[in-house]
Structure 1
Amino acid sequence: MEINQRKDISVVVPLLNEEESLPELCAWIDSVMQAHELRYEILLIDDGSRDRSWEVIIDIAKMNPNVEGIRFNRNYGKSAALNTGFEHVKGEVVITMDADLQDSPDEIPELYRMIKKEGYDMVSGWKKKRHDPLSKTIPSLFFNYVTRKISGIRLHDFNCGLKAYDIHVVKNLELYGEMHRYIPMLAQRHGFDKIGEKVVEHRARKYGNSKFGLERFIYGFLDLLSISFVSKFKKRPMHFFGTMGTLSFFFGIIVTIGLIADKLYKLNTHLPVREVTDQPLFYLALVAVIVGVQLFMAGFVAEMLTMNSEKKNDYIISEKVSFPRNKVF
């Protein structure tokens, strides 16, 4: 009979070129789990590293059967890494954290307790005191403010990599692009609205350099608009396109009727008359009618696509490694 595979905690760690920090991170996580007698697994998702990260993962997995490595054939991004990790987790509570040692594994037991004992669907870390330059902290404050206002979720730090989830949350998420920044919004959209926050330690970077530049805020803002739109209209695109199309169509019709009525009135009262087709407003109305019809048809097409689509990811895993425990007979 094989040893029970159920885990208390799954730790998902997306990484890119973090060969120096991985041994220390995994040893730290193992120490915390052993001290609190928690059954755990660590999933190290190598997002196309060009250094020796994969070789280091193999060495760690050989020494610790609780460690599993998954390697992409190229760099797909953090969302893809997290999404793949979520597909493989077996723990009742899932913890995500960065591989650069700026997130402290000492926070894991309390995050686990908040999910299991306090009943949160998700708990997001808040790096209240940050060890980052102003070029990152100021844009981050603005980004979090805008996200908080748009989403209505009262979190201070949407972008913190250290988060905890009930297993049912991650199994119902699908991440792509820069969507990892908006997991709280995605979770809420799926009905997991008990979202908490915990102040967590943010440590100064010990190895390597940050993998993110200022362009992430531009991409993040675009994804925020995308998520906001999709959250409201994914299952009912006709509500958006149909409404806009109807307003545009009737605007054009009303303007056209007004121009014709004005002409008839002037003819009847023997006033100077200008041809309807000589007026720029007529062509604006004509465009509005055409656009209205197109938007309405776009709504119909979107409805049909929504009913028949099966969303699939195309992340390619080139290698996978794990060293399971010995079987007991």
Structure 2
Amino acid sequence: MNTHRPGVVFLLGPTASGKTGLAIELVERLNAEIVSVDSAMVYRGMDIGTAKPDAETLARAPHALIDIRDPAEPYSAADFRADAIAEIERIHAAGRLPLLTGGTSLYFRALEHGLSEMPSRDEAVRAHLNAEAERHGWAQLHERLAAIDAETAQRIHPNDAQRIQRALEIHTLTGLAPSVLHARDKARRNVAALPWSICKIAVAPARRETLHARIAQRFETMLAQGLYAEVEKLHARPDLNLELPSMRAVGYRQLWQVLDGQMTLDEGITRAVFASRQLAKRQLTWLRSLERVAWLESEEKNITNQALEAIRAAGQPVGPVL
């Protein structure tokens, strides 16, 4: 961050790394306000399984963008970006520092870089292209790509089946050359660039085993707090099903399948913990791809002071330290 633009702090980290606790401590030391970056906390009635802060915690440190949707309603990355920008502007107008924290990498990417126009994968189109490749070979499909989009074909090796398939899939779904869409995306990202200086702090345990243990312990605690009953209540609603984004959240999905009779409770717990570990692995992979991130070990006793120092070192006035 620098002194010429208002600041924003991204407090990042894998699930169960201690982000929320650190964020609350920072709010109590700084003139800051929390904005949640969590695709499950936006939903009302999904409290225990999302590790949503309780009423007492929210009284100490209010969180924006939680409990803003019913689980039956969709909430997209585009919705989040618009809502987050509005909250950041509100917090800045009040003279405070926005502290964005959560584990939804897609939301952070959408906020910082804007949204891509690239279509999602289409299994039917991919199956058709794979069948063609089996008959004629990927080299011939590469020739077809060259006729459609010479610029993209030049960057892709004739034997790179995955990238040839994706390029042709994009053309099939949009009718446009992939290079055209890439150029549009680049232009959109430039336009969408945030007018604020961002300080990124990542918190995670130093050892993978520690994170795995924390994930297992947290899910056990959630069950003790009544997670199964929470999912039972959602399962009883006729307007909810596993096709909805809300019900695909880790923990909810597996216990929903238990209630559907697809597996035992023990199997559901095992799968939920495994899915949480896989989520954490993906989150860490993304975090390690970022540049200019201050990494903190969640087991450190002075982690709050380290985070404060990282914010100060970024060069942005953050208001009085309380």
* TM-score bracket, shorter-length normalisation: under 0.3
With normalisation by structure 2, the TM-score equals 0.26
Which structure: larger Rg? 1
With normalisation by structure 1, the TM-score equals 0.26
Q: Greater RCO between the two (CA within 8 Å, min separation 6)? A: 2
Structure with greater strand percent: 1
